[in-house]
């Protein structure tokens, strides 16, 4: 089986807390499916939540709803610079 190349990404987690909405950008690298990785981060964003809510389209933790936002592949050189300013998860 051929090993997949590790790729670099910038992604967003969307959080709804009452009337407040937050979008938080972060970086990650993986050789796996970026959708699955971003979803895993959303599911544990505020600790272990209550599981995925199909109707709300996200993961509940206390009174906050987290969902995986968009992700975009970026060059490794951009990742190296951005990691000085954004969290790498």
Q: What is the pLDDT of residue 1?
A: 44
**What is the Cα–Cα distance from 81 to 64, expressed in whole angstroms?**
31
Per-residue pLDDT tens digits of the chain, which is 89 residues long: 456 899 999 999 999 998 999 999 999 999 999 999 999 999 999 877 678 899 999 999 888 999 999 999 999 999 999 999 999 99
Q: What is the pLDDT of residue 46?
A: 85
**Domain positions in the chain:** 7-76
pTM score: 0.87
Q: What is the pLDDT of residue 35?
A: 95
Contact between 49 and 67 under an 8 Å Cβ cutoff? The reply is no
Tokens of 87: 């969290």
């Amino acid at each position: 089986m051929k090993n997949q190349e590790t790729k670099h990404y910038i992604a967003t987690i969307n959080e709804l807390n009452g009337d407040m909405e937050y979008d938080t950008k972060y970086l990650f690298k993986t050789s796996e499916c970026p959708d699955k990785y971003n979803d895993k981060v959303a599911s544990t964003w505020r600790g272990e939540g209550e599981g995925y809510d199909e109707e709300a389209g996200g993961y509940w933790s206390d009174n906050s709803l987290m969902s995986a936002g968009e992700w975009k592949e970026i060059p490794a050189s951009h990742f190296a610079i951005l990691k000085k300013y954004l969290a790498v998860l």
